[in-house]
Structure 1
Amino acid sequence: MTLAEQYFAIWNETDAEQRARLIEKTWAPDGTFVDPSFAATGYDELSAIVGTAHGMFPGLRFTVTGTVDEHHDHLRWSWELAAEGQPAVAGGTDVVTVAPDGRIRAVIGFLDFAPAH
């Protein structure tokens, strides 16, 4: 499974214990996430923001769109949030910094479109 696939598996995991295991496998212990809606540092905060997203958008799933770009220790991907077979309700682009051990060190997310909440 690629790092991008692991990342989206975390965002789509509704079971908190399974999500915690995925986060530890995918993120550096002091990893950070920031976008216009959320900011988190470390495993517990990362899991909490994913849980919050599930509460805000029940039944919707995050999927990567297009290809994952990579250079040096950075990745970039675009994503959408939608119910299966339905138009996306949100989408954006994430810029990722990868730690030397291959896990995510930081994600900076940009929203291209999102519902008003």
Structure 2
Amino acid sequence: METVDIQAALTAYAAAWNEPDERRRQELIEHVWCEEGVYQDHRNRVVGCQALREYIHAFKRRYPDLRIELTGEVLVAGEGVSFTWRARDPEGLVWLTRQDTATLTRDGKLQSVSGVLND
């Protein structure tokens, strides 16, 4: 993991969640997400780039003005990383915060992201 730019991967991942343009969002996902990557939270599990694109699209339709912001430092433990983020509306109100764990491939793509709601 020492040769992988973890912060760049997480920044691109957050950018995909914030991107309003579907084509650009797809490009970001393909850049940062491995084809068989798994996203899982307390309610959902999606596998692959297409499924993640659809999941984020549904999120953006439901909450078009929320912005995902990475917060805190990224902690690396073995093959995994832990990071925190929040979703904030245009008025600055924080809707939710999360701590996620992730694994990355050797070439720096996200292989898995698992999240736990903090609020």
Q: Same fold (TM over 0.5)?
A: yes
Q: How does 1:95-110 map to 2 (within 5 A)?
A: 95-110=101-116
Counting matched residue pairs gives: 113
- Match for residue 22 of structure 1 among 18, 28, 33: 28
Q: CA deviation at 1:69?
A: 1.0
Could you state the TM-score of these two structures normalised by the residue count of structure 1? 0.89
In the TM superposition, structure 1's runs of 4+ consecutive aligned residues that sit over 2 Å from their partners are: none
The alignment status of 1:73 with 2:79, answered yes or no, reads yes
Higher relative contact order (CA 8 A, sep 6+): 2
Could you state the TM-score of these two structures normalised by the residue count of structure 2? 0.88
Q: CA deviation at 1:100?
A: 1.8
Unpaired runs of at least 5, structure 2: 1-6
Paired residue type of 1:84:
P
Q: CA deviation at 1:85?
A: 4.3
Unpaired runs of at least 5, structure 1: none
Match in the other structure for 2:3: none
Give the share of equivalent positions with the same residue, in percent: 26
